[in-house]
Amino acid sequence: MKILGLESSCDESAAAVLDSDQGLLAHAVFSQIELHRLYGGVVPELAARDHIRRLLPLLRGVLADAGIAAQQLDGIAYTAGPGLVGALLTGAALGRSLAFALGIPALGVHHLEGHLLAPLLEPDPPPFPHIALLVSGGHTMLIEVQGIGAYRLLGQTRDDAAGEAFDKTAKLLGLPYPGGPELARIAAAGRAGAFVFPRPMLDRPGLEFSFSGLKTAVMHAVRDRVLDDALRADVARGVQEAIVECLCVKALRALEATDCEVLTVSGGVGANLQLRETLSRLLAARGGRAYYPRPEFCTDNAAMIAVAGLARLRAGQHDDLAIGAHAQWALDSLPAL
Ligand code: KG4
Ligand code: ZN
């Protein structure tokens, strides 16, 4: 089967072609970062309008790169939620209509299932069952993954997501939007131990996270001080260490609680090098292993949507003719395969 994947849930427009035998044939992402930078965050209406401009050229581009015509597609998978509803509707309308015109099935894919299955795009994919640490701009979750569609939420954040914590503290440091990757970049020059920020929830049992207090702690740390590059780097290092430690401690706890030694890490924060290195080291010390998508498949992309879509379309699942988009959508409401 050849599947077209489309992603438009937030500020990345993306398309990909995945073949069930040959793997990923082509993928492309257009990031709207420049468009939203002026506002310091994603403006939903601008995002939706820009997806309309970008999606069709991206789609034509990946078909050309894959060397196939639209008529050779066997199905279309588009992100149907959760996300910005206007943005979602652009990809949903395009995917659903094109599938109708081509006479092939279409399926609305859950964006988080895409992130969860992104590690399957790699040549050495993780076995099932495993524990997934899903860390993005909107979510921080530990999930027991028994198989595709068999997800049990073990714990999540009570307030801000890990990516949000990176972005908000970066903003306080005056770093350019989006702050997460930039904060990680400058943290490399920071001194260890110059700032030690709180690690909420670590002293309590359970698998929940809380990151909202980090903003206040950073605000206090930089108040009445000259924010030069050295101070920025020290604070950035302290922030990254606090977030990474919270994620690692809870991920290990989840593995222990489920007697599992396989961890996957996905979502935008999964691109963070310190997180990847720390988890790999901790897992190796236990005789386990951590699996990651390549960094470009940690952040939003259509290849992951095509992976989830291919698995479900192959199993005979597809949507009716309605164009579906859900701002909220519970992961555990998905049917198992
Ligand atoms: O998965 P994603 O692309 O979009 C959502 O579905 O939310 O994640 C975006 C988030 C942003 O908060 C961004 O700052 C963060 O991932 N991020 C990073 C890094 N790269 C992206 N955070 C820390 N270190 C990075 N290298
Ligand atoms: Zn995402």
Which pair of structure tokens corresponds to residue 53?
């401009």
Residue 201 CB partners (closer than 8 Å, separation 6+): 158, 208, 209, 210, 246, 250
pTM of the model: 0.96
The pLDDT of residue 40 is: 86
Digitized pLDDT (tens) for each residue of the chain, 337 residues in all: 999 999 999 999 999 999 999 999 999 999 999 999 999 889 999 999 999 999 999 999 999 999 999 999 999 999 999 999 999 999 999 999 999 999 999 999 999 999 999 999 999 999 999 999 999 999 999 999 999 999 999 999 999 999 999 999 999 999 988 899 999 999 999 999 999 999 999 988 999 999 999 999 999 999 999 999 999 999 999 999 999 999 999 999 999 999 999 999 999 999 999 999 999 999 999 999 999 999 999 999 999 999 999 999 999 999 999 998 999 999 999 999 8
At 236, give phi and psi (nearest 5°).
-60, -45
| Single-letter amino acid code for the residue at 37 | R
- Please identify, by atom number, the ligand 1 atom nearest to the C-alpha of residue 298: 1
From the CB of 300, is ligand 1 less than 6 Å away? yes
Joined together, the tokens standing for residue 241 give: 């260490």
Contact 136 CB / ligand 1 (< 6 Å) = yes
| Residue 38 · residue 46 · CB < 8 Å | no
Within a 13 Å sphere around the CA of 149, how many CA atoms are in the beta-carbon half?
14
Distance CA 277, CA 322 (A): 44
Ligand 1, atom 21, residue with closest C-alpha: 268
Query: Is there an atom of ligand 1 within 6 Å of 157 CB?
Result: no
Give, to the nearest 10 degrees, the angle between helix 212-222 and helix 162-172: 20
Alpha-carbon distances of 222 from 197, 236, 256, rounded to whole Å: 12, 11, 38
Centre of ligand 2 from the C-alpha of residue 268, in Å: 7
Question: Is there an atom of ligand 1 within 6 Å of 181 CB?
Answer: yes
- Spacing, Cα 180 to ligand 1 middle (Å): 6
At residue 227, the pLDDT reads 95
Only one residue has tokens 């909107």, namely 138
What 3-state class would DSSP assign to 106? Answer: strand
Is the CB of 268 within 6 Å of ligand 1? yes
At 129, the amino acid letter reads P
Show the 3-state SS of 201-257.
Answer: CCCCCCCCECCHHHHHHHHHHHCCCCCCHHHHHHHHHHHHHHHHHHHHHHHHHHHHH
Predicted local confidence at residue 177, as pLDDT: 85
Q: Which of 334, 324, 295 is nearest to 113 (CA)?
A: 334
**Total length of the chain:** 337
The secondary element (H helix, E strand) that includes residue 17 is strand 12-19
Sequence-distant (6+) residues with CB within 8 A of 146 are 128, 129, 152
> Backbone phi, then psi, for 149, in 5-degree steps?
90, -10
Which domains occur in the chain, in start order? Answer: 2-117+297-333 (3.30.420.40), 128-292 (3.30.420.40)
Q: Does 81 contact ligand 1 (Cβ within 6 A)?
A: no
Contact call for residues 131 and 260 (beta carbons, < 8 A): yes
Gap between the Cα atoms of 118 and 83, Å rounded: 18
Joined tokens for residue 5: 């994947």
Taking the centre of ligand 2 as the mean of its atom positions, its distance from the CA of residue 191, in whole angstroms, is: 31
